[in-house]
């Protein structure tokens, strides 16, 4: 069934690019309908306690204000916490907006003001007076570190005896690494436009990574019939995890629309974008032991991470340490500490970005103690098997990542001792790290519709949060049926389309791409069947493996001149459309193997010796992620991941006033992210890697692999430049100068 590749692997521009740069793309807050009204949320001013009284009289007196909803007058909704769960929810009791008078965290929505205009709603929201009964709160992870508990789902089990092996190791390292809360801050803020239909149905444009996930949430919370709710998210202006779960603005918008029988839009302010999920702060301890040759003998990795008081949000932080390197003795531990904050949530490469930062820094520190070059140390401890599961990889080209990245970077020119390299007044440091991310594959469906004019529409309920899903779907479909890309249209972000999971985890290309591949395969079979029935058909007697699809034609493989166009087949058979739908999931053969993308990151930093100012001047990132569908878009994903890794290493930190339990830099001005002046040369290498088992396309996904390991490579470079090891992110000049 092999097909000549015509589109997959080509650097094709985004098919949705023109719509985005011209403003034709409509986001959740761009949809306008008659009689639309606007809601503005009122946020809690305390971290824990209860509402004693809400006085909305001044707000209601403002001309244009329609209603102020609180826990006291909201419409009847589901009371059970289970109804508020969703497909990505952690264990526990999900947050229920305006449920009762209890305050669970600072910034929690306590009221919704609805008015004729947004500006009126926001002004009136400032007039809502709330009296609270405060209770003691805790927002400092270190304060409750000793009270942390193990969640139900444990990390990979121990192997060997890590404690004994560590005690006997010739070379040892022990260290503690910490990372702060980070917030996502995508360009598009959380927004929902709930459109009230005359027949009582409701259509919601939502900023979400999963239209069906949001639809199911709305159906369950408001007790509606599934056929009466449609959620649309054709364009998403960035999410990185904060759109995986339905956020409270969609509850507020739908609640108000149902109560008022009006279309309602609720858009969170930039400050309110800090009032729900975030990357959790962690404290990680590592103990590594090696023999005199630099071969690992013991790995111990424990992490304490924050969660809310109402959910057990867990990430895979420590398992990477048991997986990545060959070591007979491993011991992993993970605990959660409850705080008076909102629940954390996935943020690009959840768990991996944190765990690999600590692991790869610790590996670097142990390599230095052992007197072994950091790259050589990793090669000596290279593993060809999944150490946690003791299984074979479907493919692993990490050695080649190391080789190509080191050669491109010029690693052999590195002087091993810290502070040994200079450029004028600046100290120069070179560091490196390893990246790894799961090549996941979920179940998804796709529909392919081919019409008599040779045009193809491919549809799935998946989302496109920026990685180029529209383009991926178009390329896979065009490639499979041998059509020009301009003859293929991808449709997504609609809860009424074939089922797909939320977009996240770097699994969409594998998951939805495989479903598109399967749906197009059914169309191919039907087309060939029709072609064989044509009078004097050149394809008579041919099977699928005997033909190719290309340039809009079906041709004999052994004699390409014997062909017939797809349009001819459709017209000759009197077929107006061929419609096929398929569902695809990971094969049983793939389930028997381990599947991961890998990377090798090399970073150069220059540090002003007197001022401590750090510049990341060069990064080389070599990535092995199976088959690359579109090198241009994939490169952009890696570039974005590296930039985020630079932010994680040097800039990003959500600061909390623990006395008040409130975030203090909840804005773009004071929440620091890398800007153009912070980003210099980033070189991306895609290492060729074939994996015929992971999925029919051979892809692994590149959304997360660009960020994992980057912060560690930069931290290791800073140590090499300065001789000072900072184990508390972000690495800022005050920590270097302290």
Q: Active site residue: 438, 521, 604, 704, which one?
A: 704
Contacts of 472 (CB under 8 A, 6+ apart): 508, 509, 512, 513, 629, 630, 633
Cα separation, 309 vs 321, in Å, equals 28
- Residue 704 bears catalytic tag: yes
Q: What is the CATH number of domain 384-440+594-737?
A: 3.30.365.10
Task: Using the predicted structure, report yes or no on whether residue 2 has a pLDDT greater than 70.
Answer: no
The token pair at 166 is 């560590």
Kind and range of the H or E run holding 555: strand 553-556
CATH topology of domain 442-585: Aldehyde Oxidoreductase; domain 4 (3.30.365)
Contact, 170 vs 250, CB < 8 A?
no
**pLDDT tens per residue, range 367-409:** 999 999 999 999 999 999 999 999 999 999 999 999 999 999 9
* In contact, 500 and 512? CB cutoff 8 Å: yes
Residue 456 has a pLDDT of 98
Provide the pLDDT for residue 410.
98
pLDDT in tens, 36-50: 999 999 999 999 999
Q: What is the pLDDT of residues 7-56, one digit of tens each?
A: 999 999 999 999 999 999 999 999 999 999 999 999 999 999 999 999 99
Domain range list for the chain? 384-440+594-737, 442-585
Query: Phi and psi at residue 83, in whole multiples of 5°?
Result: -70, -20
Percent of the chain with pLDDT over 90: 99
Average pLDDT, the chain: 97
pLDDT at 75 over 70: yes
What average pLDDT does range 158-170 have in this prediction?
A: 98
| Full-model pTM | 0.97
String of DSSP letters for 164-209: HHHHH-SEEEEEEEEE--B----SSPPEEEEEEPTTS-EEEEE--S
pLDDT tens digits, one per residue of 333-350: 999 999 999 999 999 999
Q: Which residues are 77's β-sheet partners? A: none
Query: Looking at the predicted structure, is the pLDDT value of residue 472 above 50?
Result: yes
Q: 3-class SS at 134? A: strand
pLDDT tens column, 574-607? 999 999 999 999 999 999 999 999 999 999 999 9
Matching fold, domains 384-440+594-737 and 442-585: yes
Mean pLDDT of 664-676: 96
Structure confidence at residue 1 as a pLDDT band (50, 70, 90) = very low
Give the confidence band of 5 by pLDDT, cuts at 50, 70, 90. Answer: low
């Amino acid at each position: 069934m092999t097909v000549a590749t015509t589109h997959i692997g080509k650097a094709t521009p985004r098919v949705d690019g023109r719509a985005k740069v011209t403003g034709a793309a409509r986001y959740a807050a761009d949809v306008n309908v008659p009689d639309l009204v606007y809601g503005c949320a009122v946020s809690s001013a305390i971290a824990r306690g209860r509402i004693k009284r809400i006085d909305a009289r001044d707000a209601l007196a403002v001309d244009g204000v329609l209603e102020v909803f609180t826990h006291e007058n909201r419409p009847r909704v589901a009371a059970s916490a289970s109804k508020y769960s969703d497909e990505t929810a952690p264990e526990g009791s999900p947050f229920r907006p305006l449920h009762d008078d209890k305050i669970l965290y600072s910034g929690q929505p306590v009221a919704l003001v609805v008015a004729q205009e947004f500006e009126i709603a926001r002004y009136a929201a400032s007039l809502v007076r709330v009296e609270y009964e405060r209770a003691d709160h805790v927002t400092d992870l270190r304060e409750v570190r000793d009270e942390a508990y193990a969640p139900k789902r444990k990390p990979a089990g121990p192997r060997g005896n890590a404690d004994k092996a560590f005690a006997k190791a010739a070379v040892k390292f022990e260290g503690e690494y910490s990372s702060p809360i980070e917030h996502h801050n995508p360009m598009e803020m959380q927004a929902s436009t709930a459109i009230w239909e005359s027949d009582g149905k409701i259509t919601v444009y939502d900023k979400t990574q999963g239209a069906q996930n949001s639809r199911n949430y709305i159906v369950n919370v408001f007790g509606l019939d599934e056929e009466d709710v449609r959620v649309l998210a054709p364009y998403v202006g960035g999410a990185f995890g904060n759109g995986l779960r339905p956020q409270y603005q969609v509850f507020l918008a739908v609640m108000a629309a149902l109560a008022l029988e009006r279309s309602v839009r609720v858009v969170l302010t930039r400050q309110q974008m800090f009032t729900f999920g975030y990357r959790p702060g962690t404290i990680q301890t590592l103990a590594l032991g090696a023999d005199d040759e630099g071969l690992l003998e013991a790995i111990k990795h424990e992490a304490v991470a924050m969660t809310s008081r109402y959910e057990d949000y867990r990430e895979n932080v420590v398992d990477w340490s048991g997986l990545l390197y060959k070591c007979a003795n491993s011991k992993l531990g993970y605990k959660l500490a409850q705080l008076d904050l909102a629940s954390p949530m996935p943020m690009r490469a959840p768990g991996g970005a944190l765990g690999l930062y600590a692991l790869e820094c610790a590996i670097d520190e142990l390599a230095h103690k052992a007197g072994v070059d950091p790259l050589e140390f990793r090669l000596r401890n290279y593993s060809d098997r999944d150490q946690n599961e003791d299984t074979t990889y479907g493919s692993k080209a990490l050695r080649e990542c190391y080789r190509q990245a080191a050669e491109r970077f010029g690693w052999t020119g590195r002087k091993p001792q810290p502070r040994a390299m200079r450029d004028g007044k600046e100290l120069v440091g070179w560091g490196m790290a390893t990246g790894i991310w799961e090549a996941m594959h979920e179940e998804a469906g796709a529909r392919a519709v081919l019409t008599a004019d040779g045009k193809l529409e491919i549809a799935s309920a998946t989302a496109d949060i920026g990685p180029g899903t529209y383009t991926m779907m178009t390329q896979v479909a065009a490639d499979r049926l041998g059509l020009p890309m301009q003859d293929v249209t991808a449709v997504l972000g609609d809860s009424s389309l074939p089922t797909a999971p939320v977009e996240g985890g770097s699994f969409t290309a594998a998951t939805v791409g495989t479903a598109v591949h399967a749906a197009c395969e059914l169309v191919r079979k039907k087309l060939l069947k029709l072609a064989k029935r044509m009078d004097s058909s050149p394809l008579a007697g041919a099977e699928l493996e005997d033909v190719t699809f290309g340039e809009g034609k079906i041709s004999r493989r052994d004699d390409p001149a014997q062909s017939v166009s797809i349009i001819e087949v459709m017209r000759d058979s009197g077929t107006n459309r061929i419609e096929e739908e398929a569902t695809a999931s990971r094969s049983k053969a793939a389930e028997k193997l381990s599947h991961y993308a890998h990377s090798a990151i090399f970073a150069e930093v220059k540090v002003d010796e007197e001022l401590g100012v750090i510049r990341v001047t060069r990064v080389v990132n070599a990535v092995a992620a199976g088959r690359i569908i579109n090198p241009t878009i994939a490169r952009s994903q890696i570039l974005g991941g590296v930039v985020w890794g630079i932010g994680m290493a040097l800039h990003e930190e959500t600061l909390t006033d623990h006395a008040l339990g409130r975030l203090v830099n909840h804005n773009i001005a004071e929440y620091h992210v890398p800007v153009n002046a912070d980003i210099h040369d980033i070189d991306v290498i895609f290492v060729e890697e074939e994996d015929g088992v992971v999925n029919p396309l051979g892809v692994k996904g590149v959304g997360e692999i660009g960020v994992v390991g980057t912060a560690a490579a930069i931290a290791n470079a800073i140590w090499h430049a300065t001789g000072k090891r900072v184990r508390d992110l972000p690495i800022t000049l005050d920590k270097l100068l302290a």
